[in-house]
Chains A and B, each alone.
Chain A
Amino acid sequence: MFKKKSSSALSTAASYLSAVSEADARARAHGGTPNSTPALSLSSSLTTSSEDTVLDESGAEVVNALLYPRLPPTSEQVFTTVHTEFGHCANEDYRYTSQHRAGTSYKSNAEQDPPYYILLTTYLSYLMVICLGHLRDFVGKRMRPSFYKHLVARNGYAALNSDFDSFYTRRLKSRIDDCFSHPVTGVPGRTIVLLDRYSPDNNATLIPTGTRTRALNISSYNYLGFAQGKGACADAVEESVWRYGVSSGGTRLEGGTLDLHLQAEALVARFVGMEDALISSMGFATNSTIIPALVSKGCLVVSDEFNHASIRYGVRLSGASVRMFKHNDMQSLEALLREVISQGQPKTHRPWKKILLIVEGLYSMEGTLVNLPVVMELKKKYKFSLFIDEAHSIGALGPHGRGVADYFGINPRSIDILMGTFTKSFGAAGGYIAGNKALIDRLRLQGHSGVYAEAMTPPVLTQVLASMASIMGVTLPAEKTVSPALPLLRSSADLHMPEPEPECAYPGTAPAAALPSWMPLVPSLVDGSDGRVRLRRLAFNTRYLNRGLRKLGFITYGHDDSPVVPLLLFNLGKMAVFSRMMRTRATPIVVVVVGYPATALVTSRVRFCLSAAHTKEDVDTVLTACDEIGDVLDLKKAAGERWPLQEIIDRAVELVNMLEVP
């Protein structure tokens, strides 16, 4: 095979060296100028065709639906965003506020079971694919041993990944590999540009065709639509790159701390309503490197069964014991708590040193919110510490976008630790941990990231600062005449360590002193209108799609206010077909399909992630597509009242504003 050839060709150092220098020469010849990377010569071809990320594509009339608003803006309406990144939607009716109704108890949509024949055929299809896979392996190993070379022991080396271990990947997942890891380009905003590919050999290789397709993007975690190449945040980031470059040069404790880190941490703390916060350069690592600093041997972690891999990774490193409870089931949680507290540590029955309950604010595969009101009651009674991973809920939930606590109207200070990531709602990267000052200081020293992991880079920090300020709105210093378009000048003395406001109002605005003085502030950011519109548009889109799908008769999981909407497909094969049908529609739509092992065997699903960047028409488009495909794939199995598609589209506002959907 290829590997064999290349390694034998490069077996001597001399030939290796010459190969490497050849590669250098090739790279240099490629770019023309010595400093242009192939990456950019490629990506620049993307925009040379026209300004404004509008791509030159074939089938113009198709793409128009994505490129231009259905209703052209009137002369009074000014849109400052690029429609493909952040859709134009001026209709004030298409707004809603994400908030829990006081006095009611939290309830997710009932998880409906599909008819038995669907379950049966699902199991049968697994059985069939597995049998077929084994059969193909059996024959293949005899007929084409070279294809299995890397899967069996050879030359005294055990296989890196035996044929048994990789069976699922090779024989099941590879059948639908064209639905995963699709390469894209451009802003992952309201639309996204797919780099088309095809496979001549059943997905063993996927070859780029060189063409591109712009598709409606209902897959990226871009809840508030901050994935933008144009606009206030991008301007701020550009300014920061000119000033700071792209590197922070090391770990936080070893010379990698910039003033931007302190500013961003202070703003995050203010945003989530906690005393202090720390920032880490990767969301995954925020969990995996901080949880070990919180709990250790002799402590117990009580964990929701569907918690994210990063949490499980961190807990495993910590050495603490773990017990799981049924997903979001408060009775199961209470029973477990009673048991573990009364029994104490295994064998010795010594009381646990600490019990840490770890839950997520919004579950990204289920669309459920944590039942926080009940958790808080349990917390009072059972005295455990509470850690909420708000990776998906921060920014996406609550009337002020401050996450689940805001959504349920609960004081965040009554929660011990709030964790979240910037990858989702803020269009940035990395994560934070917020809590009281003593705790956060302890984690700064004791967490693995502060000492060993690279600090967050300046452009990412700036995106965090700008997008957060945009959601919060900015309070300008009183004595200044309001000239927000100008960068605010301040003395450099208060550059870091923004002093605490008198009565740090939560959920309040960001004082201008908390932001870098060079950050350009546009009026819509200062008065908070930009953020408010994003929050309210997201809330509308969310409820509209959730309820629309159910009115069409689909089985969905989760809560109506969850911007993650899982639609159940059940059958393995339907995952692939659904994804392909969506992608090849006249208005292409990209969706995420997930199946085993990310979900239970029979609950394969497609997951929609809504965004403030979508317009109501975009959600209409998605509903229409689901309606048609749902008929073809026999997916409409839910009980309950149904509406025809047109009625849903026409009565969208009414549907969203209903208290309960019958």
Chain B
Amino acid sequence: MAAQRRRRTQKPTKDELLGYYKSMLLIRRFEEKAGQLYGMGHIGGFCHLYIGQEAVVTGLEAVAIKGDKRITAYRDHGHMLACGMHPNGVMAELTGRQGGYSCGKGGSMHMFSKERHFYGGHGIVGAQVPIGAGLAFADKYLQTDNITFTYFGDGAANQGQIYETFNMASLWKLPVIFVIENNQYAMGTSTERASSTPEFHTRGAAFEIPSEMVDGMDVVAVKEAGERAAKHCRGGGGPYILELLTYRYRGHSMSDPAKYRSREEVQKVRGEQDPIDMVRVRLLALKSVNEDDIKKIDKDIRALVNSAADFAKASPEPDVKELYTDVYR
């Protein structure tokens, strides 16, 4: 992953590193638990895990301010946890229960929180991208200082509507960061097999949108790139593209033939580039953090995730009356 290296502006503080560690570990443990609940039949349908990609949302959420919006596709659990949505509500949506963010009517791929400015959770590849530009259009219309983080995958990057959106966003100087989470695969298709130019960050050039390619496994690098992008957008400079090189450890969804890449490839990334290990090492290198501190965090997060799982199993299914509600307002 030969991402562009930039000089670090500032070394991250201990508190920053601890924050990243907790956020990423929460996502990792949550996703593992979701996988297990799926295995036990508590979760149905499609369930796309974010394991391996935790540094992307964690680094970018670190530059978000109050009122900033975010929108993504179906691989959305990490985004929701990172923006402060409660694990209970997310897990209960996965189990299709009343206590879920969509009262059980959306499921893994379709969750929202007005309060946290999380606009979904979209199941149609690429559809969230023009919608994200529309959120930014509203901020410009209302003259706020907010920006929208619009996430999409390397597979989605080949959708025509992305380029329609790049054009409008640049033309109208919309405050939107297009975050391309390049995890190297769209289901079983590697970027080389689907894209004539797999360097997705270059694709904004035709629309004069500035862009960067970033090591998406390094949360500190992500955060720094996010700062540059946010500064550009908030300053009225229009859209910005960040291509984050990342990797998903698990299958595309729970059922995945696992035939399109080797176990060695996965293990190599896990062993050498794991975003959470990287931060743990950094933390332990600080004299003020020791193994026990780390253990305590791990334990707290496991308790949080376990109670989310308990909540998600105990929450009742939606009342049958809910079948006919929320079709119209």
Check if A and B associate.
no
Residues of B within 8 A of A (CB): none
Residues of A within 8 A of B (CB): none
